[in-house]
Amino acid sequence: MNAPTDPKLLTNPLLDTWTSPHCLPPFTDVKAEHFAPAFAVALKSHRDELDAIAANPAAATFENTLAAFDKSGRLHMRIDQLFYNLAASETSPALQAVEREMAAPLAAHTNVIYMHAGLFSRVDALFSQRDALGLTSEQMRLLERVHLDFVRAGAKLSAGAQARYGKIMEQLAELTTQFSQNVLADEATTHLLLKDESDLAGLPESVRASAKQAAVERGLDGYVITISRSLIVPFLTFSDNRALRERAYKAWTGRGEGINAGTEKFNNAPIIASIMALRLEQANLHGYASYTDYALTDTMAGKHAAVFDLLMKVWVPAKEKAALECEALQAMALSRDEKIEIAPWDWRYYAEKVRQARYDLDDALVKPYFSLDRMVEAAFDCAQRLFGLRFVYQPELKAYHPDVKIYEVQNADGSLLGVFLHDNFSRSTKRGGAWMSSYRQQSRIDGDVKPIIVNNNNFAKGAEGKPTLLSFDDARTLFHEFGHGLHGLLSSVNYERLSGTSVLRDFVELPSQLFEHWLSEPEVLKQHARHVDTGEPIPDALMARLKEARKFNQGFETVEYTSSALVDLALHSQTAMATLDIAQFEKQELAKIGMPPQILMRHRLPHFGHLFSGSSYASQYYVYLWAEVLDADGFEAFVEAGNAFDSATAQRLRKFIYSSGNTMEPTEAYRAFRGRAPTVTPMLKKKGLLPA
């Protein structure tokens, strides 16, 4: 890389050598204004590297082309990862402005890479003689993946089509950025302010404390219910005030529609319509009739029919189960002399009453056993028992926010595996949901690069001086993201393109969903689910009820999820997009599949970030269910071994699932771990949709 000549850049920490321990990003020095000039330098240096590979007078070899390509762009990559992580976890108006400004140039850069004719001709030449090159299986996999990346990004299109394709990608990048920012703005500006005691009726102490905390953060008196999932769901579960529940529910499920701000400002409908038209054009340019056909080609499922079949295998019994659940809610309301028809904003409320009656699981009873600190210890302990890992807290290392904890992750022999950042609390500068991401991916082609992995959650922070208590679902989310984290940390591959979670989309949820199983293991709960005040382990009876309750409300949850996946699939399967009215489309599709009127999609289209904050889950929201087939079947391997930490099974799991990245065909990797192909039955039983 050439040294920057602009004096402003001489002090840009993004371009300096990162000298902090483990070469962590310069979290405390970096400012929003550093990004655009640093990107300019990094993109230029990346282009120069690519030009040099293409201009090499020697004939293309694996080393001078594929390996060199994998090593290129590292400066760009580290800035890119820092930028998008900060934009998601600790954003600011200045950073959002850079995000909008950079969306098109960064998308254009992707096109520069994948439409680089000189580069592609070398990759293509190697691909056409791949069997004669004497490659290792990992090298072969890299060649095939990189070649496919080029083809899917438009490398084989005519020059005219490539130019149009580039424009489409840039426009999509801008639109998806705008989509996310609208939802974020809606969530940040919409809340319910509770003042009177009657507004608080039914809310347990923990919800009141979180609502108080949210009010303090906003400089308001009283209690604030934000429309972030961690606060709104408990509110809908416990609030006795039906009118308030309705208001809160409509604000929450209406985000991205422009109704909360009372203006069209945050309305995502026109943005979605534009995104869909561009995606169809993208698919057509590749010769596919629909975006679904294009997207599914590079998945385990492969075809629309395979996805639709799986979804329908679940949809029909899920609706039947939900209908039974609804009857129980209606009966509960009647027994309380409340003469109402169950509406969507009533479901969680009466479900909680039924759950308490059936399982006696009061949140106030359960949550003290699931403090955040103990659940983090539990996740670390499971990683140690399965894979021999140790997580060592490094209080002297500072991240981008004081709440973020940094850990060194060590192998059983004390050697360094990687670095782990844990960012657990909700705040207004962080987007909603829970996710894993990386600041650096593991690889060995350019030195022994250790991964830096982050887990983000959105738990409501306990009040000042009080521990943060989780619901059992929150604890499951913690384990889920930690499973993704392990997938990134345990990666053991040579090439960055094949590293960690860079696997096929319908395989990527396997390591995360599988890891959730250990949270429910009695020996894990006995050891770690201890009362926050007394340290007493969770009582057996409570543990048994928690286990029984796992199948409770699964009809509702499965209907919420599966309807979202079916609408996603239908939306992206369209072969004409001229007159797309999002609201109308959603309504029609739900009518077509017979959506129960008491349940809404888990994510309605106007805020369906999986589909419109980027393209990687578009037409692929089904992947969680696909992975659930694998995780339910996969955990059975430990059940069959008679030990949840069976070491031979854990070793196979590490080798073929958590460490192998994208070096193997996923079907093959699964078979190598399990000894056979997966079956659907364990997933249906786990959900209680088939008798156990």
* Segment near Zn ion (CB under 5 A); pick from 66-74, 501-509, 608-616, 635-643: 501-509
Q: Compose the 183-212 pattern: x for residues touching Zn ion by CB under 5 A, - for all others.
A: ------------------------------
Cβ-based nearer residue to Zn ion, 65 or 512: 512
Cβ-based nearer residue to Zn ion, 595 or 623: 623
3-class DSSP state for residue 435?
Answer: strand
- CA atoms within 13 Å, Cβ hemisphere of 248: 30
Cβ-based nearer residue to Zn ion, 474 or 509: 509
- CA atoms within 13 Å, Cβ hemisphere of 451: 31
* Segment near Zn ion (CB under 5 A); pick from 160-168, 172-180, 307-315, 510-518: 510-518
Return d(Cα 609, Cα 163) in angstroms, integer: 28
β-sheet bridge partners, residue 392: 408
Residue 43's alpha-carbon distances to 79, 101, 141, 206, 425, in angstroms, are 10, 15, 27, 48, 34
DSSP structure class, residue 9: G
Cβ-based nearer residue to Zn ion, 512 or 619: 512
Cβ-based nearer residue to Zn ion, 25 or 488: 488
Backbone angles phi, psi at 41, to 5 degrees: -65, -45
The residue from 85, 299, 512, 562 that contacts Zn ion (CB under 5 A) is 512
* Segment near Zn ion (CB under 5 A); pick from 60-68, 181-189, 259-267, 504-512: 504-512
CB 120 to Zn ion: min, Å: 33
CB 483 to Zn ion: min, Å: 8
- 41, 10 Cβ separation under 8 angstroms: no
Cβ-based nearer residue to Zn ion, 512 or 564: 512
Return d(Cα 641, Cα 651) in angstroms, integer: 13
Q: How many residues bind Zn ion (CB under 5 A)?
A: 2
Q: Compose the 437-476 pattern: x for residues touching Zn ion by CB under 5 A, - for all others.
A: ----------------------------------------
- DSSP per position, 47-100: HHHHHHHHH-SSPP-IIIIIIHHHHTTHHHHHHHHHHHHHHHHS--HHHHHHHH
Residue of this chain nearest to Zn ion (CB atom) = 512
| Closest to 372 measured CA to CA, from 481, 462, 464, 433 | 462
Which tokens sit at 194? 């509770």
Backbone angles phi, psi at 218, to 5 degrees: -95, 5
Which residues, other chains included, contact 261 with Cβ-Cβ below 8 Å and sequence gap of 6+?
Answer: 185, 186, 189, 190
Cβ-based nearer residue to Zn ion, 437 or 563: 437
Which residues, other chains included, contact 421 with Cβ-Cβ below 8 Å and sequence gap of 6+?
Answer: 399, 404, 405, 406, 407, 439, 452, 453, 454, 455
Cβ-based nearer residue to Zn ion, 556 or 624: 624
Which tokens sit at 296? 């599914």
Residue 656's alpha-carbon distances to 58, 389, 674, in angstroms, are 37, 17, 9
Q: Angle 117-128/137-152 helices, nearest 10 degrees?
A: 140
Q: Compose the 14-53 pattern: x for residues touching Zn ion by CB under 5 A, - for all others.
A: ----------------------------------------
CB 550 to Zn ion: min, Å: 19
Which tokens sit at 66? 């594929």
3-state secondary structure 180-206: HHHHHHHHHHCEEEECCHHHHCCCCHH
Which one of the listed residues 257, 408, 481, 636 is annotated catalytic?
Answer: 481
CB 456 to Zn ion: min, Å: 11
* Segment near Zn ion (CB under 5 A); pick from 293-301, 383-391, 511-519, 630-638: 511-519
* Segment near Zn ion (CB under 5 A); pick from 122-130, 328-336, 509-517, 566-574: 509-517
* Segment near Zn ion (CB under 5 A); pick from 138-146, 409-417, 502-510, 650-658: 502-510
* Segment near Zn ion (CB under 5 A); pick from 131-139, 374-382, 442-450, 508-516: 508-516
CB 508 to Zn ion: min, Å: 7
Return d(Cα 16, Cα 5) in angstroms, integer: 13
Return d(Cα 641, Cα 630) in angstroms, integer: 17
Cβ-based nearer residue to Zn ion, 509 or 568: 509
3-state secondary structure 218-272: CCCCCEEEECCHHHHHHHHHHCCCHHHHHHHHHHHHCCCCCCCCCCCCCCCHHHH
217 in active site: no
* Segment near Zn ion (CB under 5 A); pick from 121-129, 134-142, 506-514, 567-575: 506-514
* Segment near Zn ion (CB under 5 A); pick from 10-18, 60-68, 180-188, 512-520: 512-520
Residue type at 109 in one-letter notation: H
Return d(Cα 72, Cα 77) in angstroms, integer: 9
Q: Burial, 685: exposed, middle or buried (Cβ in 10 Å; 0-12, 13-18, 19+)? A: middle
The separation between CA 454 and the C-alpha centre of its own chain, rounded to angstroms, equals: 12
Cβ-based nearer residue to Zn ion, 99 or 631: 631
Strand pairing report for 416-425 and 405-410: antiparallel
β-sheet bridge partners, residue 456: 423, 435
CB 623 to Zn ion: min, Å: 9
CB 512 to Zn ion: min, Å: 4
Cβ-based nearer residue to Zn ion, 509 or 628: 509
CB 509 to Zn ion: min, Å: 5
Which tokens sit at 479? 């384990």
CB 434 to Zn ion: min, Å: 8
CB 502 to Zn ion: min, Å: 15
Residue type at 192 in one-letter notation: L
CB 468 to Zn ion: min, Å: 21
CB 514 to Zn ion: min, Å: 11
Cβ-based nearer residue to Zn ion, 177 or 512: 512
Which residues are annotated as catalytic? 481
Residue numbers of the site for Zn ion (CB under 5 A)?
509, 512
